[in-house]
Every structure is written in C-alpha cells, then in structure tokens.
Amino acid sequence: MTIRLLERQINLLEYLTSVGAIFGDDANRPLKQGLQGIDQASLRLEACFSHEKRMEKIVATLPRTFQLLKDDRPGIVREFVEACPSVDIRRIENARQFHGFMCTRWQAHPPEPPYLRDVASCELAIASVRIRDKAQTSQPAISGQGARFRRHPDAVLLRCAYDIRPLFERGVDTDDVAERRDVTLAIAVPSRSDQPAIFELSPPVFALLEELSSWTDRAGLGSQAELDELMVDLAKHGLLEVGS
C-alpha cells in the first residue's frame, strides 16, 4: 500500500509538471495507471496554475532577460518546462534553474541579442546578492593594528562581453544596443544601503578582489597610503569585508 501510494504521488507530480498537462498536449490522452479516477480537467487547471506561479517568480527575478526574449519567449518557456521540471518553490532557485537552462541552450543557439547572456547573469547576481546580504555593521579601520580583510562573501564578480550597465540604469528598451567591450563588474550592497548596486571595476582592482577570497593581513602588505584608500573605498561599496 505504501509503495502504491508513493508511486501515485510521483506520477502525480510528474504529470503536474509535464508539458502535456501545462500546455494541453495530453488533453485527449488517458491518464497513467494510478491517476485514473482523478478529474483530468482539475489536474490540468492545477498544472497551469502552478506553472504560472513558477514563471511569475522567474520573470520577477529576471525581468530584463524576459523583456529581451521578445517573440522567442513562448517557445523558450515551453523548452524550459520540458527540460527542467519544477523541483523547488523558492524564487531564486527557479531563476537559477532557468539561467542554467539558458546557458546550456546558448551553447547551440547563441543569444539574441548577443548581450542577453550578460544581462541574465547580472540579474541573477543582483537577486543572489539581495537575498544573501545581511545588515552591515561598522567595520574596523583598514590600517588598524591586526587589521585584515577579504572580498565580501556576498559580493559577486562578473566578467561581461558587453557594457550592460546603461540597460540597468535607465531600464531596458528592446531597441537599445549594448556596446561591445569587455567589462569587469561587481554587484554588492554598499554600506548604509539595503539594495544591490552594480560597479564597474578596473581590471587590476577586479583581479585583486578575485585573489582576496580568504583573509589577508594588512600588515603584510607594507605601509602604502594608496592601498589603504583603495581598501576603504572598496569596503564602503560593500566589496570588501574588514576584520581584526
């Protein structure tokens, strides 16, 4: 009895997340054994409702990405549903699942517009930073005795092939064209703020932050006023965490 019940639950979940149930492809097909006796119209209604709620979460997290999909959106969403059944109710996890699906799809079908990949990655980074960031407290002075620092664990570093910052600053117009140039970005929550911001970094500063994945003693880097100024600025922008 327990095995039968478990199998029926599995079959039910598979059906409710299937392309056939969501898009009506299986409307005239009999249900699998174990689901017979359940009203198929009710199941389809539940499947459609769950799908819409899932897509609402993804679109809310990746709004610019979906705006740029334009007429390709219905077909891509259908491919996504078929390839990636829902496995988590959290917004960020569904957005990550869609982003992973798109990254795989872009290997065979390059993104259009070509800067869509960078936009999607940046939106996902913003969402990730927003949910990971904790209330920031005052930090010790960079140059204090025993001071040490590392890249802020909530910050995200992103290499982009297009300058997409203007699209986030003024909103996406589907007729806009992002400039083709290598850009190194960081997404973090600045001090005295509760919202993520996008910063363009010079390649040397970006490389420095990449290296600062673990705690580094300030004393071991010598007495350089310029370095202290840089560290203070990075800490102020939420890119560096300071300890003592």
At residue 141, the pLDDT reads 54
Q: Is the pLDDT of residue 12 over 80?
A: no
pLDDT band at 192 (very low <50, low <70, confident <90, very high): confident
Distance CA(152)–CA(213), nearest Å, equals: 8
Residue 182 placed within a domain? yes
Distance CA(90)–CA(197), nearest Å, equals: 23
Model's pTM, two decimal places?
0.83
- pLDDT per position as a tens digit, 125-148: 999 999 875 544 445 455 555 678
- Domain at 167, CATH number: 3.90.930.50
Residue 234 DSSP code: H
Residue 40 placed within a domain? no
CA angle 59, 65, 68 (to 5 degrees): 120
Which residue, among 117, 190, 128, has the nearest Cα to 159 in the 3D structure?
117
Q: Which domain holds residue 236?
A: 136-244
Q: Is the pLDDT of residue 117 over 70?
A: yes
Match 């890249």 to its residue by tokens. Answer: 151
Residue 242 placed within a domain? yes
The number of folded domains in the chain is 1
- pLDDT per position as a tens digit, 48-89: 889 999 999 999 999 999 999 999 999 999 999 999 988 889
- pLDDT per position as a tens digit, 160-187: 999 999 999 876 665 667 899 999 999 9
